[in-house]
C-alpha cells in the first residue's frame, strides 16, 4: 500500500502527474523518477493567514516514519523517511514561558485593541453590496498583504505558524472549513524564527503521482495499493479538522496546556469564510462549560462510579466478614492467602524482567530480537509439556476435573508455538525492517526521555493497584458458611458474582491505565514528529506533563469508552470467524453509526490523543486510513492480517515489530500463569477442617489467573513505552499525509477523477515518485523537486502521452514547463487559471512566500541560478505566451506589476458576472498559441461554487464557466499539459468542488478527443 517514494514529511501537498497517452506500446514506460509535489498556497505576510498546510520544501513527500535516513524503507513499501534533517518547525510549546505570562488588565486591553486595529487595516475594499456578506472573508484576503506589513501584530505569530501541527499546539485550529467568530488570542511576541516559520510555512510540500492515460494500457491503478492513507475523502459533516489546537481561557493561563475548547474554535482571521447566505455547517460537539472530561464524559464518570462502587462493596464485605480462626479447608480465600508469597515473587520477577527487557531493547535490539524469535516457541512448547505432564501428578493422579482442564489447556501454548513459527516464517522477509522500526522507536524514546518515567509510573501504579485489588478480591470469597454435612466451606453465590465483577473492574482499570499511557505517548510523539526540529526546544518533561494532563482530562472519557468496548466485545471479534464477526459488526451498526471494530482498535486511542477528538470521530478517521484498515481489532501480526490483500506489503514490518514487542508480554503471562496454576494445584499445602493436611487446591486456577494478570500487566507497562511510540508514528504519518491541500490529489482520485477519464475510453496509468530527503532547506528541496518534475514530464511527453498533474500548489507547473521544453524543444505557452497573480519575486515580497512566485519563476525573473539547474528550463515570454484567467484577489501593488508586465488578464469581478468563456476565447484568438500548458488553481472558482481552500474569494468562475472554458481551449490551441492545484478537501464541506473539477476535466478530455489531440484506446 505504501511506497518507497513517500518523502520525509509527508507533505500537505501532493502532486500527481497524469498522462493521457497515445503510444501504441509501453515498452518504455515513463521513468518512475521521483515526482515533486506541490505545497499548499502559503500565507502571505498578513492577509493570507497561516493555514494548516506544511511547507512544500520543508515537507517533501515522505518515507518511512521509522527510518532515520532517506534511503530504504522500514515498512517494506511503506517507506517512511527521516525527519532528522528537516527544516525547523514551530515547537509544540513555542516560547511557553513567555506566551503565557500573566498580564494586567490594561495590557490585555491594549493587545485586544492592537488586534482589532490590525484586522481593520488588513480588510480588503469590497463592493458595498457585498461588504456585509464577506466582511470576514475579505478581512483575510490575499489582497491585504502589503497593506498590513507595516503594522506589527505580536499576536498573530501562533496563528501564522507552520500549518501542520500537533493536535495540541497553539490556541486555535486552522483547519476548519467553517470558522467561529472569535477575538484574536493573546500570543507571545514574535521573534525572528517564528516570523520566518510563519512566512515560509507553505513553501514547498509536494508529492508526485503520474497518471499515464495511454492506448496501450487499460490497467486499473486501483489494482495497486492506493496512495491514500486515509482511504477516502475528508468527512463532510462531522469530522473535526485533522489537527486540533487547544485554546486557553482568557482569565487563567497555564504554563503549557489549558483545557481544550470546542473543535469549532478557530481563528476567523486566517481564511475567507463562505458567504453568509450559505447554510452554516456544524461539525463540532457542544461541551458543557467546566466539564473536566471534554470528550465522551459519560464513560469517564461510569468508570469512576464503577471504581467507587467496587471500593464501597469491598468496604461492606470487610465489615461483614472476618477470618475464621479454625481451618476451613480448601477455599479460594485460603488458596490465595497461602499463595501471596508466590505471587509476590512473580511480581518481583516480572518487574526485573521488564526492566532488563527494556534496557536490552534500547541497547541490543538485534540480538534481543534473535533471542525472542527462538525463545518464544521454546518457552511456549516447554510450558505446554510441563502442564500436560503435571496434570497426571498430585493426589488425584490426573482423575480430577481440574487435571482434565489442565490437560486440555496445555494445548493452548502448543498451538501458540505453532502459530508463532508460522507467522515468523511468513514474515521473515520483514524481520530486518521490523528491527529497524524498533531501533528508530528507541531513538525517539531517547529524545523524549520523560516517557520512561511515565512508563515507570504506570508500572508502579499497576503493581500497587494489583496488590490492593488482590487483597479486596481475596476478602470477597470469605462470604459463605461451613457445611457440616459436606465437611467443607461453601462460598455464597453472591460472592461468585462479586468476584466476577471485581475481575472485570480490575481488567478495565488496568486497561485504562495502559490507555492513559498510550495517549500520553501518542501526544508526546506527535509533538516530536511535527515540531522536533524547531527551537527553542521544550523540555520533554514539560511536554509529557501536558500530554498526561490531556489524557487524564480532555480525552479520558474516550479512553474509558474504548477500553470498555474492548473488554466487552473485542476478544470475541478477534477469535470468532470473520463472517460471524462481520455479522455482529453489521448488527451493531444499527445502533452505532461508527465502525465497531475501529472503536476498539488500540490505534483509535492513539488517533484520539493526537487529534484531540472523541472516540467516534477518531474511529471514523482511523477507518479511513487504508494503512490501518481496522478490519482486525488488533495491531499485531495475525493470520487474518496476512490474508488481507494489500496489507502485508505495507504493514507487515509494522505488525511484525508489534508482534515482537507483545511476545515477551505473552510469554510472561503464559509462563507465570501456568507455573502458578501447576504449583498451586500440586504443591500448595492445605489444612482440612479435620486437621489433616493435603497438597493441591481445587482452586489453583484462580491463582494461575492472578499470576497471569501480574505478568501481563507488569510487562505491559514496559512494552507499552515502545509500542505506543511505534503506533503514534504510524498515525502521525497517516494524518500528516492528508492535511490541507496535500489531500487534494487523493480526494480527486477517490472521487472518480481517473474513472471519469476511463469512461471516455482513455486508459489511465498512475505513477508515484520519491523523496528529496538529501536536500536541506525549503528552497533547495523545491528546486530539486522541480528538477524531478521536469525529468518525469519530459519522459511522458517523449512517449507521446499527455501529462495531467494533480498538485498541492502551483510551483509544480514550473517543472512541467521545463519538462515540456526539454521534450519538444520549444517553450510552451500557458493558460493560467487562478484567483491570484502568483507574479511576486523575493525583492518585492517581504513574506518570501514561495507559492506566490511561480508565474515570475516561469518568466525567469527570480531564482535565476536555481532555475538554470532545472533540465530544459527556458524563460517564458509572459507578454506573448501567457493568458491569465480569473485573477481578482490581488493588492494594488500586485495589480500594477501585472499591468506593467503586459500579459492579458481576464479579471474576475465582484459586482457583475464575467463571461469568462467569451473573454478567454478572444484572448486566445488574439494570441494564436500553437501549443499551451493549462494550469488550474481551483481557487479560480467563485466561492459560491464551494470553498476550495482558505484563499477562496468572490468574483471567480462559476461551474459552467469552468466547463465551457475547458471545452473551448482545445479548439483554440493544442494543449500539451494540464495541472490542477490547491484543493483542500477539508474546506469543501459541501462536497461540491470535486464534481465540478471532474466535470471540467471530462469536458477538457472530450475537447482533446474531438480535436484529434487524444485518441480513444479503442481506436
Residues 543 and 679 in one domain: yes
Output 301 or 120, whichever has higher pLDDT.
Answer: 301
Question: What is the rounded distance in angstroms from the CA atom of residue 431 to the CA atom of residue 300?
Answer: 40
- The mean pLDDT of the chain is 72
Quick one: cell of 414? Answer: 502448543
Burial of 310 (0-12, 13-18, 19+ CB in 10 A): buried
DSSP at 223: G
Exposed e or buried b per residue across 726-745, where buried means at least 16 C-beta atoms within 10 angstroms of its C-beta: bbbbbbbbbbbbbbbbbbbb
Q: Which residues, 6 or more positions from 486, have their beta carbon under 8 angstroms from its beta carbon?
A: none
Question: What is the rounded distance in angstroms from the CA atom of residue 86 to the CA atom of residue 8?
Answer: 8
Bridge partners, 830 (sequence order):
882, 933
**In degrees to the nearest 10, what's the CA dihedral of 752, 756, 757, 761?**
130
Using DSSP's 3-state secondary structure scheme, residue 1006 falls into helix
Q: Kindly tell me if the per-residue pLDDT of 463 is higher than 90.
A: yes
- Would you state the pLDDT for residue 582? 60
Q: Is residue 28 part of a domain?
A: no
- Which of 712, 736, 760 terminates a domain? The answer is 736
pLDDT tens across 686-733, in order? 777 666 767 788 888 899 999 999 999 999 899 899 999 999 988 887
Q: Is residue 558 part of a domain?
A: yes
Percent of the chain topping pLDDT 90: 34
- Would you state the pLDDT for residue 119? 46
Q: Is residue 479 part of a domain?
A: yes
DSSP string computed for 683-712: T-EEE-TTS-EEE--TTHHHHHHHHHHHHH
- Would you state the pLDDT for residue 315? 92
Q: Kindly tell me if the per-residue pLDDT of 734 is higher than 80.
A: no
- Would you state the pLDDT for residue 571? 59
Least confident range of 118-127, 386-395, 433-442, 869-878 = 118-127
| Cell 482434565 found at | 404
**In degrees to the nearest 10, what's the CA dihedral of 889, 895, 898, 903?**
70
Output 40 or 666, whichever has higher pLDDT.
Answer: 666
Residues 400 and 507 in one domain: yes
Residues 727 and 819 in one domain: no
Residue 540: name the closest of 556, 516, 523, 555 by CA: 523
DSSP string computed for 628-656: T-TTSS-SS--HHHHHSTTSHHHHHHHHH
**In degrees to the nearest 10, what's the CA dihedral of 25, 228, 206, 894?**
110
Output 103 or 381, whichever has higher pLDDT.
Answer: 381
Quick one: cell of 244? Answer: 486540533
Stretch (H or E) spanning 931: strand 931-937
Question: What is the rounded distance in angstroms from the CA atom of residue 261 to the CA atom of residue 249?
Answer: 9
Q: Is residue 109 part of a domain?
A: no
Total domains, the chain? 2
Residues 835 and 702 in one domain: no
Question: What is the rounded distance in angstroms from the CA atom of residue 206 to the CA atom of residue 227?
Answer: 14
DSSP string computed for 75-126: BTBS-----TTPPP---TTTTHHHHT----HHHHHHHHHHHHHHHHHH----
Instruction: Round the CA-based radius of gyration of the chain to a whole number and report it.
Output: 32
Output 808 or 149, whichever has higher pLDDT.
Answer: 808
Least confident range of 159-163, 202-206, 1009-1013 = 159-163
Least confident range of 341-350, 441-450, 633-642, 740-749 = 633-642
pLDDT band for 222, please (50, 70, 90 cuts): very low
Provide the residue count of the chain.
Answer: 1019
Residues 729 and 786 in one domain: no
Quick one: cell of 404? Answer: 482434565
Question: What is the rounded distance in angstroms from the CA atom of residue 765 to the CA atom of residue 1017?
Answer: 13
Q: Which long-range contacts (CB under 8 A, 24 or more apart) does 360-364 make?
A: 361/438, 361/442, 361/722, 362/442, 362/445, 362/446
Residues 410 and 361 in one domain: yes
Least confident range of 103-112, 295-304, 879-888 = 103-112
- Which of 687, 706, 736 terminates a domain? The answer is 736
Stretch (H or E) spanning 14: none
Longest CA–CA span in the chain (Å) reads 114
pLDDT tens across 438-453, in order? 999 999 998 888 999 9
Q: Is residue 380 part of a domain?
A: yes
Strands 765-768 and 801-806, sheet pairing: unpaired
Percent of the chain topping pLDDT 70: 62
Mean predicted confidence (pLDDT) in 282-311: 77
Say if residues 210 and 227 touch (Cβ distance below 8 Å): no
> In angstroms, how far is CA 14 from the centroid of its own chain?
16
Residues 895 and 782 in one domain: yes
Q: Is residue 428 part of a domain?
A: yes
- Would you state the pLDDT for residue 3? 30
- Helix and strand element counts for the chain (H, E): 33, 13
Bridge partners, 767 (sequence order):
210
In the Cβ-directed half-sphere of 600, how many Cα atoms lie within 13 Å? 20
Q: Kindly tell me if the per-residue pLDDT of 42 is higher than 60.
A: no
How far are the Cα atoms of 41, 87, 268 from residue 50, in angstroms, in the given order? Answer: 10, 17, 11
- Would you state the pLDDT for residue 74? 33
Residues 662 and 787 in one domain: no
Question: What is the rounded distance in angstroms from the CA atom of residue 423 to the CA atom of residue 663?
Answer: 12
pLDDT band for 192, please (50, 70, 90 cuts): very low
| Neighbour count for residue 583 (Cβ, 10 Å) | 12
Mean predicted confidence (pLDDT) in 259-280: 36
Question: What is the rounded distance in angstroms from the CA atom of residue 593 to the CA atom of residue 269?
Answer: 34
pLDDT band for 967, please (50, 70, 90 cuts): very high
| Neighbour count for residue 492 (Cβ, 10 Å) | 14
- Would you state the pLDDT for residue 85? 33
- Would you state the pLDDT for residue 578? 58
Output 990 or 119, whichever has higher pLDDT.
Answer: 990
pLDDT band for 591, please (50, 70, 90 cuts): low
Using DSSP's 3-state secondary structure scheme, residue 258 falls into coil
pLDDT tens across 911-966, in order? 888 999 999 999 999 999 999 999 999 999 999 999 888 888 999 999 999 999 99
Using DSSP's 3-state secondary structure scheme, residue 664 falls into helix
Say if residues 292 and 662 touch (Cβ distance below 8 Å): no
Residue 745: name the closest of 754, 735, 756, 734 by CA: 754
Q: Is residue 824 part of a domain?
A: yes
Q: Is residue 753 part of a domain?
A: no
pLDDT tens across 600-643, in order? 788 889 999 998 888 888 887 777 675 665 555 566 666 656 65
Question: What is the rounded distance in angstroms from the CA atom of residue 957 to the CA atom of residue 939?
Answer: 9
761: left (phi over 0), alpha (psi -120 to 50) or beta: left
Question: What is the rounded distance in angstroms from the CA atom of residue 78 to the CA atom of residue 226?
Answer: 12
Residues 919 and 808 in one domain: yes
pLDDT band for 121, please (50, 70, 90 cuts): very low
Q: Kindly tell me if the per-residue pLDDT of 675 is higher than 60.
A: yes
Residues 719 and 591 in one domain: yes
Could you tell me where the beta strands, DSSP code E, fall in 956-1001? 974-981
Residue 598: name the closest of 636, 632, 550, 642 by CA: 632
pLDDT band for 594, please (50, 70, 90 cuts): low
3-state DSSP percent of the chain in helix, strand and coil, to 5: 50, 10, 40
| Cell 498451586 found at | 680
Quick one: cell of 37? Answer: 509535489
CATH code for position 831: 3.40.800.10
- Would you state the pLDDT for residue 337? 86
- Would you state the pLDDT for residue 745? 80
Burial of 950 (0-12, 13-18, 19+ CB in 10 A): buried
- Would you state the pLDDT for residue 309? 93
Output 939 or 238, whichever has higher pLDDT.
Answer: 939
- Would you state the pLDDT for residue 305? 95
Output 178 or 914, whichever has higher pLDDT.
Answer: 914
Query: What is the residue range of 846's domain?
Result: 775-1010
Bridge partners, 613 (sequence order):
none
Alpha helices in 296-398 (DSSP H): 297-320, 332-363, 365-390
Residues 360 and 433 in one domain: yes
Q: Kindly tell me if the per-residue pLDDT of 649 is higher than 80.
A: no
Least confident range of 14-18, 290-294, 687-691 = 14-18
Question: What is the rounded distance in angstroms from the CA atom of residue 87 to the CA atom of residue 200?
Answer: 10
Residue 766: name the closest of 229, 228, 62, 212 by CA: 212
pLDDT tens across 752-770, in order? 888 899 888 888 877 766 6
Say if residues 63 and 81 touch (Cβ distance below 8 Å): yes
Q: Kindly tell me if the per-residue pLDDT of 111 is higher than 50.
A: yes
Quick one: cell of 86? Answer: 528537516
Residues 796 and 712 in one domain: no
- Which of 687, 709, 736 terminates a domain? The answer is 736
Amino acid at each position: 500500500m505504501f511506497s518507497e517514494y513517500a518523502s520525509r514529511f509527508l507533505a500537505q501537498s501532493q502532486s500527481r502527474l497524469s498522462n493521457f497517452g497515445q503510444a501504441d506500446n509501453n515498452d518504455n514506460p515513463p521513468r518512475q523518477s521521483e515526482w515533486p509535489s506541490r505545497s499548499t498556497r502559503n500565507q502571505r505576510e498578513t492577509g493570507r493567514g497561516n493555514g494548516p498546510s506544511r511547507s512544500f520544501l520543508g515537507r517533501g513527500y515522505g518515507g518511512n516514519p521509522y527510518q532515520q535516513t532517506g534511503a530504504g524503507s522500514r515498512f517494506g513499501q511503506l517507506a517512511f523517511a527521516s525527519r532528522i534533517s528537516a527544516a525547523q518547525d514551530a515547537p509544540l510549546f513555542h516560547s511557553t514561558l513567555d506566551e503565557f505570562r500573566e498580564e494586567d488588565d490594561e495590557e490585555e486591553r491594549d493587545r485586544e485593541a492592537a488586534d482589532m486595529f490590525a484586522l481593520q487595516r488588513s480588510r480588503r475594499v469590497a463592493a458595498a453590496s457585498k461588504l456585509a456578506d464577506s466582511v470576514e472573508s475579505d478581512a483575510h484576503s490575499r489582497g491585504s498583504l502589503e497593506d498590513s506589513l507595516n503594522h506589527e501584530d505580536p499576536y498573530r505569530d501562533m496563528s501564522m505558524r507552520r500549518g501542520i501541527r500537533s493536535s495540541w499546539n497553539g490556541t486555535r485550529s486552522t483547519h476548519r472549513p467553517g470558522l467561529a467568530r472569535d477575538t484574536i488570542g493573546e500570543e507571545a511576541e514574535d521573534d525572528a524564527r517564528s516570523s520566518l516559520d510563519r512566512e515560509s510555512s507553505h513553501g514547498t510540500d509536494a508529492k508526485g503521482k503520474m497518471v499515464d492515460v495511454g492506448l496501450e494500457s487499460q490497467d486499473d491503478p486501483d489494482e495497486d495499493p492506493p496512495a491514500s492513507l486515509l482511504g477516502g475523502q475528508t468527512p463532510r459533516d462531522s469530522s473535526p479538522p485533522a489537527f486540533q489546537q487547544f485554546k486557553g481561557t482568557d482569565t487563567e493561563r497555564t504554563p503549557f496546556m489549558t483545557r481544550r475548547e470546542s473543535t469549532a474554535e478557530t481563528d476567523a482571521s486566517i481564511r475567507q469564510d463562505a458567504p453568509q447566505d450559505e447554510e452554516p455547517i456544524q461539525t463540532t460537539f457542544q461541551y458543557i462549560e467546566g466539564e473536566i472530561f471534554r470528550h465522551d464524559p459519560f464513560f469517564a464518570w461510569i468508570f469512576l462510579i464503577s471504581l467507587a462502587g467496587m471500593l464501597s462493596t469491598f468496604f461492606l464485605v470487610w465489615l461483614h466478614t472476618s477470618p475464621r480462626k479454625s481451618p476451613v479447608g480448601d477455599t479460594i480465600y485460603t488458596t490465595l492467602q497461602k499463595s501471596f508469597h508466590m505471587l509476590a515473587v512473580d511480581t518481583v520477577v516480572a518487574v526485573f524482567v521488564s526492566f532488563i527487557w527494556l534496557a536490552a531493547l534500547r541497547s541490543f535490539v538485534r540480538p534481543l530480537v534473535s533471542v525472542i524469535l527462538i525463545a518464544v516457541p521454546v518457552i511456549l512448547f516447554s510450558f505446554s509439556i510441563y502442564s500436560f505432564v503435571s496434570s497426571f501428578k498430585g493426589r488425584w493422579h490426573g482423575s480430577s476435573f481440574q487435571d482434565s482442564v489442565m490437560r486440555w489447556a496445555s494445548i493452548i501454548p502448543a498451538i501458540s508455538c505453532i502459530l508463532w513459527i508460522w507467522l515468523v516464517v511468513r514474515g521473515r522477509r520483514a524481520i530486518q525492517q521490523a528491527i529497524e522500526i524498533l531501533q528508530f522507536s528507541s531513538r525517539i524514546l531517547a529524545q523524549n526521555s520523560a516517557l520512561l518515567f511515565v512508563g515507570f509510573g504506570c508500572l508502579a501504579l499497576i503493581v500497587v493497584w494489583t496488590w490492593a485489588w488482590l487483597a479486596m478480591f481475596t476478602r470477597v470469597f470469605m462470604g459463605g458458611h461451613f457445611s457440616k454435612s459436606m465437611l467443607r466451606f461453601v462460598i455464597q453465590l453472591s460472592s461468585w458474582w462479586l468476584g466476577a465483577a471485581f475481575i472485570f473492574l480490575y481488567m478495565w482499570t488496568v486497561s485504562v491505565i495502559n490507555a492513559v499511557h498510550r495517549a500520553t505517548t501518542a501526544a508526546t510523539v506527535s509533538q516530536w514528529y511535527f515540531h522536533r526540529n524547531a527551537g527553542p526546544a521544550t523540555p520533554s518533561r514539560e511536554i509529557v506533563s501536558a500530554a498526561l494532563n490531556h489524557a487524564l482530562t480532555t480525552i479520558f472519557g474516550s479512553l474509558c469508552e474504548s477500553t470498555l468496548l474492548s473488554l466487552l466485545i473485542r476478544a470475541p471479534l478477534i477469535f470468532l470467524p470473520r463472517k460471524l464477526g462481520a455479522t455482529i459488526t453489521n448488527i451493531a451498526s444499527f445502533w452505532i453509526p461508527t465502525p465497531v471494530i475501529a472503536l476498539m482498535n488500540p490505534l483509535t486511542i492513539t488517533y484520539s490523543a493526537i487529534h484531540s477528538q472523541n472516540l467516534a470521530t477518531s474511529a471514523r478517521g482511523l477507518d479511513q486510513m487504508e494503512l490501518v484498515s481496522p478490519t482486525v481489532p488488533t495491531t499485531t501480526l495475525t493470520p487474518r492480517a496476512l490474508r488481507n490483500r494489500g496489507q502485508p506489503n505495507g504493514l507487515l514490518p509494522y505488525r511484525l515489530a508489534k508482534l515482537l514487542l507483545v511476545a515477551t508480554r505473552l510469554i510472561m503471562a503464559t509462563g507465570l500463569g501456568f507455573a502458578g496454576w501447576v504449583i498451586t494445584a500440586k504443591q500448595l499445602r492445605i489444612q482440612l477442617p479435620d486437621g489433616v493436611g493435603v497438597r493441591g487446591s481445587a482452586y489453583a486456577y484462580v491463582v494461575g489467573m492472578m499470576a497471569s494478570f501480574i505478568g501481563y500487566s507488569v510487562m505491559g507497562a514496559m512494552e507499552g513505552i515502545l509500542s505506543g511510540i511505534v503506533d503514534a508514528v504510524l498515525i502521525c504519518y497517516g494524518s500528516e499525509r492528508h492535511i490541507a491541500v496535500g489531500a487534494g490529489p487523493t480526494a480527486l482520485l477517490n472521487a472518480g477523477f481517473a474513472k471519469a477519464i476511463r469512461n471516455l475510453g482513455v486508459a489511465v496509468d498512475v505513477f508515484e515518485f520519491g523523496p528529496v530527503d538529501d536536500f536541506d532547506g525549503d528552497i533547495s528541496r523545491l528546486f530539486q523537486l522541480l528538477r524531478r518534475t521536469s525529468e518525469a514530464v519530459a519522459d511522458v511527453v517523449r512517449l507521446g502521452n499527455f501529462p495531467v498533474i494533480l498538485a498541492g500548489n502551483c510551483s509544480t507547473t514550473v517543472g512541467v514547463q521545463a519538462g515540456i521544453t526539454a521534450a519538444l524543444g520549444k517553450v510552451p505557452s500557458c493558460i493560467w487559471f487562478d484567483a491570484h497573480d502568483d507574479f511576486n519575486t523575493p525583492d518585492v515580497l517581504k513574506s518570501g512566500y514561495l507559492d506566490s512566485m511561480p508565474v515570475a519563476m516561469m518568466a525567469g525573473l527570480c531564482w535565476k541560478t536555481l532555475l538554470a539547474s532545472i533540465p530544459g528550463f527556458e524563460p517564458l515570454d509572459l507578454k506573448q505566451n501567457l493568458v491569465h484567467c480569473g485573477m481578482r484577489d490581488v493588492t494594488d501593488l500586485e495589480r500594477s506589476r501585472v499591468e506593467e508586465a503586459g500579459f492579458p488578464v481576464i479579471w474576475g469581478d465582484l459586482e457583475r458576472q464575467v463571461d469568462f468563456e467569451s473573454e478567454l476565447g478572444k484572448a486566445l484568438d488574439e494570441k494564436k498559441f500553437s501549443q499551451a500548458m493549462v494550469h488550474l488553481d481551483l481557487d479560480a472558482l467563485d466561492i459560491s461554487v464551494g470553498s476550495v481552500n482558505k484563499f477562496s474569494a468572490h468574483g471567480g468562475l462559476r461551474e459552467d464557466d469552468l466547463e465551457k472554458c475547458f471545452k473551448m481551449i482545445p479548439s483554440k490551441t493544442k494543449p500539451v499539459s494540464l495541472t490542477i492545484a490547491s484543493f483542500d478537501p477539508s474546506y469543501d464541506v459541501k462536497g461540491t468542488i470535486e464534481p465540478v473539477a471532474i466535470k471540467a476535466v471530462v469536458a477538457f478530455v472530450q475537447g482533446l478527443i474531438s480535436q484529434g489531440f487524444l485518441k480513444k484506446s479503442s481506436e
